[in-house]
A and B are shown apart, each in its own frame.
Chain A
Amino acid sequence: MTKKYFLYFLFIVPLLVFYSQRTYSQVVQNFLNNSQVHGNAEIDAQYYQKDTIIGAPNVPEQALMNAFGNVIYTNGAFSAGLRFEAYLNPMLGYDPRYKGMGFPYKYASFTKDMFDITIGNFYEQFGTGMTFRSYNDWTLGYDNVMEGINIRITPIKGITIKGVWGKQRFFWAEGPGIVRGADAEFSFQNFIKKFEEKNVNIIVGGSFVSKYQETQDNTYKIPANVATYGGRLNFIAGDFNIYGEYAQKINDPEANNNKIYKQGEGLLIQASYSTKGIGVYLSGKRLDNMDFRSDINATGNVLNINYLPAITKQHTYALATFYPYGTQANGEIGADAQVIFTIKKGSKLGGKYGTNIALDFSQINSIYKERVEENIPIDSTGTLGYKSPFFRFGDQLYYQDANIEITKKFSKKFKLILAFYYISYNSKVIEGHDKGIIYSSVPVADLTWYITKTKSLRFEAQYMSTRQDEHDWIMGLVEFSIAPKWIFTFMDEYNYNNPIPEKRVHYYFGSVAFTQGSSRIALSYGRQRAGIICVGGVCRAVPASNGLSVTITTSF
């Protein structure tokens, strides 16, 4: 047998090798040349210490870890990939139902002629997402990825049709409802030559999404099929841009709307004018009973079919993120206005490098509600719930934010950012605890000193004054960086004026981050205060913790 094998080897292999050098090799070589594999990975782990003063709980496992890794293979029009996730066990603040590990994301897709088809898991969005969006946010611990079929059709340039059909991820399983949807978008500029010349474009779109869930309810007749549908229009003329989207949802008595039979509706308008040196942005939004999920019994951050982000500005300075707004899908009406401009270099106020100023004001209120019938209280289960005139504001304030940020580079050595935030936050509506409305004023100073070309020191001083909740805080930060590899940070948040004297504690926190190309490792140690992280329309409560944590990210 071995001999025979050897003979084969002697004759055929050289022949094949020879052959392969010619034609076969070109085919394989082309295949190999087009083959690309890439991916990324992240590991977050923390060693926890019990800290009764700040309320950090005892963690029986002592250390917890969340991790993921993506691998994507592409070859020309073909692509396939998967993501592994492990939560052993889920870190504090993440939903404990993530416990375990597996491959929640696996797909194959190809593009052929006018079709772009994905089978398996996919992320997709119609318009701004008011009728449909599947997305993933690792820091938030949110993933409502679809499993099923996604198709995008481009019959001619300027027309896009999308279709989705599948079920949504629910931790390590799928939600009970089937989600089906279609979306079409038409861009006029591709068909009208004058538009192109004049830099004008009109884009119109429409979408229809339907959910099916078998339902059993002894008291109420619950619709098994629930649809949302919407239209959108975007008008662009040079520096002007106006976008409007309106959607409706048919009656959908479910866990989050107190099982009322009212129809839902949502309107979003965004307008901007900008030209080099100045940008103005206005947006308005009204939501009424727009919570839409693939399980009528689901509550919390799971199985959302549509995406309803907050329109308020997202802040980054620590004390300004204390009280962030979270969308109220059941009803809210509000507006946001922002202006950003640069005072020219060389002018009196602009100085040598110019001065940048950003202003923002937003306010969100409840929608006005009145009884459907005189003797039926508002929001009564099994009724139409309430009547709500479209443009009438409710009298309850949910959130208000007025802020200014000024950025000025003084010289080659110094840059200063000054900011001030005044935030009013309805804790009962947004968080569910009754501390009433919390009013906070937050001044911030952020100074960067460029010591050498690659070494710099950054100082942050922040203060928050409030007479509600935990009262006043003060915060300081020092960051030393050696570009492009090292960043050392030390900070302390001090709740010096807490009404309970024992809670007047320091939250010390230090970290070292090292970057090499597209890989980064960060080690940190210290206390982290309890708080809320909100991204888009979703918020996550983060409990207080104390301990050593490590984050490793890399991509290839």
Chain B
Amino acid sequence: MKNLIAFIFLTLFICSFSFSQDTTASQKKYQKIPSVELKGTDGKTINTANLKNNGKPIIISFWATWCKPCINELTTIADVYDDWQKETGVMLVAVAVDDARSSANVKPLVDGKGWDYMVLLDINNDFKRAMSVNLIPQTFVIDGNGNIVWQHQSFSPGSELKLIDVVKAVAEGKALPKD
């Protein structure tokens, strides 16, 4: 019996070895966007796994109306968003983790700030949990195939330069800049 178990493990080990040869470094395996049903500010339900941008990169930014650095980040990006879109075709999805206390105030704040982002309401924090987000702001870059290729926690002025560098590399299919 022991032998049989050892045998199975050995076989699995060898098989897995043969798999690992298939996935070379250039085909690094990335996480996909998990599937969670969220409402937009227009009340329409969207499945996060279906977020698409015609093969162009997507930025997913977790924020809340009560989070100062988050608002700083989204305001900073708003100033250059037109240029970013022209250069890379990127789309920013701002996921508000506000609960019932302030989620109804998300759209007025977004409009009042004049932001042009796609905004989703993660009122029960399902998407936040599925994406393993701990502290906000946390920002993700998704490539044209729906792979999560980069993420970053916190914001300070200038962090957006790193973000656009990553987005540009993704848009052009180049290697990501070093962290």
Contact = CB atoms under 8 A, between A and B. Distances in A.
A342 B114 contact: yes
A481 B44 contact: no
Contacts of B45: 157, 187
B158 interface: yes
B107 A241 contact: yes
Given A234-B43, A340-B113, A279 B157 contact: no
Given A28-B19, A553-B134, A483 B10 contact: no
B100 interface: yes
Interface stretch (B26-34, B51-59, B81-89): B26-34
A48 B121 CA distance: 39
B109 interface: yes
A555 B99 contact: no
Contact of A189 (B29, B44, B152): B44
A5 interface: yes
A25 B19 contact: yes
Contacts of A5: 3, 6-7
Nearest to B179: A517
Contact of B100 (A40, A123, A309): A309
Interface residues of A, number: 101
Interface string B9-44: 011001100110010000001011011000001111
Interface string B126-158: 100110111100100000000000111111111
Given A28-B19, A70-B132, A517-B179, A16 B11 contact: yes
Given A25-B18, A135-B124, A520-B135, A358 B107 contact: no
A376 interface: no
Interface string A495-532: 00000000000000000010111111000000000000
A124 B156 contact: no
B10 A358 contact: no
Identify whether the interface residues of B are mostly helix, strand, loop, or mixed: mixed
A107 to B, nearest CB: 10
A29 B111 contact: no
Interface stretch (A295-303, A310-318, A466-474): A310-318
Interface residues of B, number: 65
A17 B7 contact: no
A277 interface: yes
B161 interface: yes
Nearest to B99: A536
A414 B105 CA distance: 28
Contacts of B18: 17, 20-21, 25
A22 to B, nearest CB: 11
Contact of B108 (A12, A40, A187, A281): A281
B48 interface: no
B95 interface: no
Interface stretch (A163-171, A217-225, A448-456): A448-456
B5 to A, nearest CB: 12
Contacts of A484: 152, 154-156, 158-159, 162
B132 A38 contact: yes
A275 B113 CA distance: 10
Interface string B102-122: 101101111111101000000
Contacts of B100: 125, 127-129, 133, 268, 307, 309, 536
Interface string A28-69: 110011001011101000000000000000000000000000
Given A272-B108, A278-B111, A483 B153 contact: no
A123 B126 contact: yes
Contact of B152 (A275, A353, A515): A515
Nearest to A453: B158
B111 A32 contact: no
A111 interface: yes
Contacts of A516: 179
A487 interface: yes
A317 B43 CA distance: 32
A356 interface: yes
B162 A483 contact: yes
B145 to A, nearest CB: 13
A279 B138 contact: no
Contacts of A79: 34
A517 B152 contact: yes
Nearest to A136: B125
Nearest to B3: A5
The residue among B18, B113, B130 with the most chain A CB atoms within 10 A of its own CB is: B113
A72 B35 contact: no
Given A25-B19, A203-B43, A277-B112, A13 B11 contact: yes
B161 A453 contact: yes
A70 B138 CA distance: 17
A212 interface: no
A447 B104 CA distance: 29
Interface string A1-28: 1000100110011001100110011001
B152 A272 contact: no
The residue among B45, B109, B155, B156 with the most chain A CB atoms within 10 A of its own CB is: B156
B79 to A, nearest CB: 7
A339 B113 CA distance: 11
Contacts of A519: 153
A536 B124 CA distance: 12
Contacts of B157: 448, 450, 454, 456, 481, 483
16 contacts: A24-B15, A25-B18, A74-B34, A187-B45, A277-B114, A279-B105, A279-B107, A280-B108, A481-B157, A482-B158, A483-B157, A515-B154, A536-B99, A553-B135, A554-B134, A555-B151
Given A272-B104, A456-B157, 10 more contacts: A28-B19, A29-B22, A38-B132, A72-B132, A135-B99, A276-B111, A278-B111, A309-B100, A340-B109, A555-B138
Interface of A: 1, 5, 8-9, 12-13, 16-17, 20-21, 24-25, 28-29, 32-33, 36, 38-40, 42, 70, 72, 74, 79, 111, 123-125, 127-129, 133, 135, 138, 157, 187, 189, 199, 201, 203, 234, 236, 239, 241, 243, 268, 270, 272-281, 283, 307, 309-311, 313-314, 316, 338-342, 353-354, 356, 358, 407, 448, 450, 452-456, 481-484, 487, 513, 515-520, 536-537, 553-556
Identify the 3 closest CB pairs spanning chains A and B, nearest first: A279-B108, A483-B158, A340-B112
Interface of B: 3, 6-7, 10-11, 14-15, 18-19, 22, 29, 31-32, 34-35, 41-45, 65-68, 75, 79, 99-102, 104-105, 107-114, 116, 123-126, 129-130, 132-135, 138, 150-159, 161-162, 179
